[in-house]
Structure 1
Amino acid sequence: MSRLQGKTAVVTGGGSGIGLGAARRFVEEGAFVYLFGRRQEALDAAVAELGSSARAIRGSVTDLADLDRLYATVKAERGGIDIVFANAGTGSFAPLGEITLEHYEQTFDVNVKGVIFTVQKALPLLKDGASIILTGSTTGVMGTPAFSIYSATKAAVRNLARSWALDLRNTGIRVNVLSPGPIKTDLAMEVVGEEAFVALGATTPAGRIGEPAETGAVAAFLASSDSSFMTGGEVFVDGGFAQV
């Protein structure tokens, strides 16, 4: 398929997991992708895999100067942006009573502040018909023990999309949320543990955990004109986990 032929995409958290899964699909469908992330080794490996249609820029979504450098590079090299996938995120467990200021600040810094300024700083470069995709989570609509701070950030992301869809009315720019359930990523394996995560996947109606290629396919749909009448929405890629 070539639904994204000639398009320019920016993917934060693009060196692995859901971000890399989306970047793979974007490249397969004809896009040029800028991968933005903190881990140089992962970025280098991703570019080696994706080839000449990908470029890596190291930085953090919590550092506004890093975001400025990212978008200055994109502007100089490509002129504008068709797709922004604000995907970078972090999370760890802390039950009520054990939540620290550091835990709160780190999670909100990456998952909310990072999303806000990833999108806001991209606005001057967004072309007519551009698609903004935010990574949400099933935790944004479910109660999850010891995961309240992460879950609250994802509920915030969901409302950002609703509000921004109104802010962007009549601009031709769309914003939607892609909310994964149990997807096999390095972060999930690290935070939850592989055995527990596989067991969680077995409880879904699909009976398994998902793969980054599956979230990537939905990201490509949201990035393309196939979703041209969708904005302010949320698409779950969760094997039915939060649906039944």
Structure 2
Amino acid sequence: MATSQKLAGKIALITGGTSGIGLATAQRFVAEGAFVYITGRRQAELDAAVQLLGQSVVGVRGDVSNLADLDRVVALIREQQGRLDVLFANAGIAEFLPIDAVTENHYDQQFDINVKGTVFTVQKALPLLPDGAAIVLMSSIVGSKGSDNSSIYSATKAAIRSLARTWTSDLKARRIRVNAISPGPIETPGLNNLAGTPEQVAQFKAQMVGAVPLGRLGEADEVAKAVLFLATDDSSYVAGVELFADGGMAQV
């Protein structure tokens, strides 16, 4: 992985950093010189990710919807590093039901992790962020498109896109840049777990590919490179945007 050390000396936190886009971004950040904290809900996956990433990484078990867990993560970073330069609020889940089948639990779980988790991850990290820091929020193309059976999940991602705008206003006096990244269909463990049997997964992927102008699924590292752009001085005059990494799926 050719690098230019664009994050040399920087401290970063990636929530949901044990697989998929979060893990790929952690790999990018470490390669670019950052010291990276990752969180995950399952210890075995967290340990495996830390082993893969090697040095310059600390794994902290925690659930972003649990405020006590967030407090613990922030306290550890404060104790060990004293500051946080880059925050990638990536942790999230996706569940799909038609509106007539939506349950309170289906609603609560997705809003608690995707929206509440993002809100309080950012709020609790703010005291550690120096002026001019970078925050990247994980949104999705579903916040802009009306896909079958995705009303609650899509609503959470539309909320996150809105937060990137409002927090850009809230934090302008501190020059903290807040941007959203919105992937399209990406080849990740999460995508493979959505559709059931291997045959259903293959059919689902084929449908997705058919809707992507570039004619393929994206790779997690392709999104990670876009997150890296938003996290570094390469995007020093970029604030409040939604950067699509979707092969054109939501654009045409």
Deviations 1:166-192 (A, max 9, x none): 000120211000000001111111113
Aligned to 1:169: 172
Deviations 1:105-161 (A, max 9, x none): 001000100000000000000012210000000000000110100000000001011
Deviations 1:54-99 (A, max 9, x none): 1100000010000000000001111100000000001111101100
TM-score, scaled relative to structure 1: 0.98
Code of the residue aligned with 2:238 in structure 1: it is M
Query: What runs of 5+ residues in structure 1 fail to find an aligned partner?
Result: none
Code of the residue aligned with 1:218 in structure 2: it is A
The 8 Å contact of residues 189 and 197 in structure 1, kept in 2 or not, is answered as no
The 8 Å contact of residues 111 and 153 in structure 1, kept in 2 or not, is answered as yes
The 8 Å contact of residues 15 and 22 in structure 2, kept in 1 or not, is answered as yes
Aligned pair 1:9/2:18, yes or no?
Answer: no
The 8 Å contact of residues 197 and 209 in structure 1, kept in 2 or not, is answered as no
Aligned-residue sequence identity (percent) comes to 53
SS of equivalent to 2:132: strand
In the alignment, which of 219, 236, 247 is matched to residue 239 of structure 1? 247
Deviations 1:38-67 (A, max 9, x none): 011111111111111111000000100000
In the alignment, which of 105, 110, 117 is matched to residue 114 of structure 1? 117
In the aligned structure 1, how far is the partner of 2:211 from the partner of 2:94? 22
Aligned to 1:129: 132
Deviations 1:205-232 (A, max 9, x none): 1110011110110111110001011111
Deviation beyond 6 Å, 4+ runs, structure 1: none
The alignment covers a number of residue pairs equal to 244
In the aligned structure 1, how far is the partner of 2:153 from the partner of 2:41? 20
Aligned pair 1:208/2:211, yes or no?
Answer: no
TM-score, scaled relative to structure 2: 0.95
SS of equivalent to 2:147: coil
In the alignment, which of 173, 180, 188 is matched to residue 185 of structure 1? 188
Query: What runs of 5+ residues in structure 2 fail to find an aligned partner?
Result: none
